[in-house]
Amino acid sequence: MRALTIILGILFFLSPTLRAAHIIGGEITYECLGNDSYQFTMRIYRDCDSGGALFDAPGNSVGAATITIFRGSGEFDRLSLGAPQIREIPPDFENPCLILPPNVCVEEGVYVFNAILPQSADNYTISYQRCCRNESITNLIDPGASGATYTVEVTAESQAQCNNSPVFNNFPPIIICSNQPLNFDHSASDADGDQLVYELCTPFLGGGRDGSGGPGSGDPNSPTGVAPNPDLPPPYDPVVFVQPTYSAIAPLAGDPIVTIDPVTGIITGTPTIIGQFVVGVCVREFRNGVLLSTVQRDFQFNVASCEPFVSADIREDEIINGNEYVVNSCGNNTVEFINQSTQEEFIDVVNWSFDINGSVQTVDTWDATITFPSEGTYEGQLILNPGTTCGDTANIFVNVYPDITADFTYDYDTCVAGAVNFFDQSFTGAGEIIDWSWDFDDGGTSIETNPEFLYDAPGTKQVALTVRDTNDCEETVIEPIYWVPAPAEIIVAPNIFVGCNPQTVFFDNLSSPIDETYDILWDFGDGTTGTEISPEHVYEEPGIYSVTVDIVSPIGCAIGAAFPNWITVREAPEAGFDYTPDNPTNLQPDVSFIDESKRAKFWDWSFDVEGFSTEQNPVYMFPDTGFQEVIQIVTHENGCQDSALILIDVEPIVTYFLPNAFTPNSDSVNDIFIGNGVYEGMTEFEMTIWNRWGEKVFETDDPNEGWNGQKNNVGQMSPNGVYVVLVRYLTPRKVPVNLKGFATLIN
């Protein structure tokens, strides 16, 4: 089998920025109608999906196509053409190995116009000029700035004989293959039966880029514009080829070089470089040795890589030597061949052939089913697209071997858990089995002939045995085994337990095999039972308990176990306490604790982490207010413990008392009116004092500041009398307090 690929070598097909976006060729022919009247046909070619120049027509960016007719070197007439007749020319490409993008095609715009050309000794030249060619052209210098002139001459001799020009028979190929021989018929037909001579000739330049960039970029109708109007007179400048690789007579690099037969018009050669190439083809018309006319076709040829890409492939057991497929059939003379060839959409013909005892059997379907007469080795082939360059072949070797049968038996004690013994019963016509592969469906495997295996868990096991013989024939058999013996031994953790009541015990049943399909019965020794595999049980009372468990497998095999004096539950103390006073405060932080526990021998107290005591009835002074956590832990003389926890709220209290009179006479006795009390934790304090006319004479937010009898404690002394005192504040727990009193000033 060959590894085959396709490479499309023309970049403008693949890149939106390089894709052909301009007119790519054209030619002009004529027909003499008599009485000096001629009908001209101009064919212009462009890309179907061009993003650039449209065919020139009324209403387009540069307007209608203009034709200039010259007699000799002077302008004779100028014509403005209407819209062309447009047809799409899809790629006519027979090479099955070339994958073309869906948008690759060419449009042909046909302009037909008439002109009266009075017979003259001068030649008439009919010309149409248009810019520009593709930037991606390979064989021209500065192709993006190189326009084209499409022209034809009506010679004086042609006028005299009312001659018709030759017309090319075939449309040029859009794509040709590199490194593959080219053979294209570029011949023409002549209505008058004149002698035609073909040659590769130089395409002409014409037009420029003026006006291609919109307003302000020049006049598109100027001699250097994209559509000169009028067209320039002959002679015309030739395009500039990239020398020395390309020229008019060698526009495509090749080996052999691409040439045209001067008699037949057949273009031959083998192009070797991928790209886009401007080619000029001229056909000269002679009558009785006299040149009547020359028709020139200017066209763009595209050279791509057309490598074979389909790949023959089948489902096989082995590949040898890269492209030889080995298919083994064990015990079955009818073999199904599965076609796995790639690039199926480009495979037109599939041919299977097999040599069966000197007779060739063929099949032309995608897959093939062949019945061979007997055991043995047979040869065949899968051929894709036979007779084309886009094909491939896979060589096939078929081995029809004797049958192989996988089989086994087994044995185990159905009541007592133990290993299962397996016995191979497989058979092969090849004479010898060389490999055994066991899968016990429990994570276990073996390659022994007659293995044994001990399962961890009960249930139905799907045991698989795969055997292989000397011919590499394999077969697998899967048999179910219902393995549900009783455990060989009952194992329960813990093996001994000592605790304090009430006590929760978890019985972890480690016996194997065992699952929910087994019947379990527990006797916990305190008058209660359970049926779970691994139960959890609470012993409420102290004592020593014996436990039994019985297990019955799904097929009735039973095993039991007794665990005498297994669980010891000791008597536990009962913690509890009270305290006094019921509502301790920062003014009374000492709290007495009264033990109310039962069966306690030792006491441990924790007072909000910071304080500790081991007395039975301790007294503790709390250093702070708020909720305090008190924990009592009591211990029985047997070591069992219990605990109790109480949160005690030590309330923060503030006090504030007002006097009723003061004597601000500077004798240092009762000179200041000020309250007293416990202020810690007090917030938002405010005291105001008012005279009998409702005037505020004093104000403070500091409980430690008093009134000295002067207004706002400065200035003149207030008169004797009774003043109203208002006090408000928030307690530490944000309880508002409002007080009203009287201050009698005696001076």
Please tell me the distance from the alpha carbon of residue 137 to that of residue 180, in angstroms, as a whole number: 21
Q: What is the pTM of this model?
A: 0.49
Rg of the chain over CA atoms, in angstroms? 57
513 Cβ contact partners less than 8 Å away, ≥ 6 residues apart: 417, 455, 456, 457, 458, 483, 484, 485, 487
Q: Is 434 left (phi over 0), alpha (psi -120 to 50) or beta?
A: alpha
- Quick one: pLDDT at residue 388? 79
Tell me the mean pLDDT in the region 701-718. 92
- Using CA atoms, how far residue 19 sits from 6, 98, 135, 142, 148, in Å, is 19, 18, 9, 17, 19
Tell me the mean pLDDT in the region 187-197. 96
101 Cβ contact partners less than 8 Å away, ≥ 6 residues apart: 8, 13, 14
Residue 18 has pLDDT above 50, yes or no: no
Please tell me the distance from the alpha carbon of residue 319 to that of residue 340, in angstroms, as a whole number: 14
Please tell me the distance from the alpha carbon of residue 295 to that of residue 278, in angstroms, as a whole number: 17
Q: Which of 205-219, 440-454, 481-495 bottoms out in mean pLDDT, i.e. has the lowest?
A: 205-219
Share above pLDDT 90 across residues of the chain, in percent, rounded to a whole number: 77
CATH class as words, domain 404-483: mainly beta
- The three-point CA angle 83-85-87 to 5° equals 135
User: What's CA 585's distance to the chain center, in Å?
Assistant: 69
Tokens of 212: 């291609």
Identify the CA nearest to 276 among candidates 5, 22, 92, 54: 22
Tell me the mean pLDDT in the region 101-117. 85
Identify the CA nearest to 503 among candidates 557, 566, 564, 447: 566
8 Å CB contact between 424 and 495: no
- Quick one: pLDDT at residue 19? 33
- Assign domain 318-401 to its CATH architecture: Sandwich (2.60)
- Assign domain 577-650 to its CATH architecture: Sandwich (2.60)
Share above pLDDT 70 across residues of the chain, in percent, rounded to a whole number: 94
Sign of the dihedral defined by the CA atoms of residues 259, 261, 262, 266, in that order: negative
Q: Which of 45-54, 77-86, 320-329 bottoms out in mean pLDDT, i.e. has the lowest?
A: 45-54
Question: Phi then psi for 12, rounded to 5 degrees?
Answer: -70, -15
Tokens of 666: 């500077």
pLDDT band of residue 6 (cuts 50, 70, 90) is: very low
pLDDT band of residue 180 (cuts 50, 70, 90) is: confident
Q: Is the peptide bond before 659 cis (omega within 30 degrees of 0)?
A: no
Please tell me the distance from the alpha carbon of residue 446 to that of residue 427, in angstroms, as a whole number: 19
- Quick one: pLDDT at residue 50? 57
Please tell me the distance from the alpha carbon of residue 268 to that of residue 182, in angstroms, as a whole number: 5
Q: Residue 692 gets which letter from DSSP?
A: T
- Quick one: pLDDT at residue 62? 78
Please tell me the distance from the alpha carbon of residue 496 to that of residue 516, in angstroms, as a whole number: 26
> CB atoms < 10 A from the CB of 611, how many?
15
- Quick one: pLDDT at residue 179? 87
Say if strands 275-287 and 290-304 run parallel, antiparallel, or are unpaired.
antiparallel
Q: Residue 346 gets which letter from DSSP?
A: G
Q: Which of 207-216, 305-314, 572-581 bottoms out in mean pLDDT, i.e. has the lowest?
A: 207-216
Q: Which of 7-16, 240-249, 414-423 bottoms out in mean pLDDT, i.e. has the lowest?
A: 7-16
Q: Is the peptide bond before 480 cis (omega within 30 degrees of 0)?
A: no
Residue 100 has pLDDT above 70, yes or no: no
Residue ranges of domains in the chain: 11-304, 318-401, 404-483, 492-568, 577-650, 661-745
Element (DSSP H or E) covering residue 184: strand 182-185
- Quick one: pLDDT at residue 312? 92
Tell me the mean pLDDT in the region 162-179. 91
pLDDT in tens, 255-307: 999 999 999 999 999 999 999 999 999 999 999 999 999 999 999 988 887 77
Helices (H), 141-265: 156-160
Please tell me the distance from the alpha carbon of residue 684 to that of residue 734, in angstroms, as a whole number: 10
Please tell me the distance from the alpha carbon of residue 224 to that of residue 218, in angstroms, as a whole number: 9
Tokens of 96: 């099955």
Residue 13 has pLDDT above 80, yes or no: no
pLDDT band of residue 496 (cuts 50, 70, 90) is: confident
Q: Where are the beta strands (DSSP E) in 457-610?
A: 459-469, 474-483, 492-493, 497-500, 503-506, 508-509, 519-523, 529-530, 536-539, 543-552, 558-570, 577-580, 590-595, 602-607
Please tell me the distance from the alpha carbon of residue 586 to that of residue 738, in angstroms, as a whole number: 22
pLDDT band of residue 592 (cuts 50, 70, 90) is: very high
Residue 5 has pLDDT above 60, yes or no: no
Q: Which of 31-45, 308-322, 600-614 bottoms out in mean pLDDT, i.e. has the lowest?
A: 308-322
- Quick one: pLDDT at residue 1? 36
Residue 12 has pLDDT above 50, yes or no: no
Greater confidence (47 vs 327) lies with 327
> Given this chain, do its domains 492-568 and 577-650 carry the same CATH topology?
yes
pLDDT in tens, 314-345: 999 999 987 799 999 999 999 999 999 988 88
Tell me the mean pLDDT in the region 102-115. 85
Instruction: Share the mean pLDDT of the chain.
Output: 90
- Please name the fold of domain 661-745: Immunoglobulin-like (2.60.40)
CATH class as words, domain 492-568: mainly beta
Please tell me the distance from the alpha carbon of residue 159 to that of residue 120, in angstroms, as a whole number: 8
Q: Where are the beta strands (DSSP E) in 317-391?
A: 318-320, 324-330, 334-337, 350-356, 359-363, 368-371, 376-384
Residue 560 has pLDDT above 80, yes or no: yes
Please tell me the distance from the alpha carbon of residue 743 to that of residue 726, in angstroms, as a whole number: 10
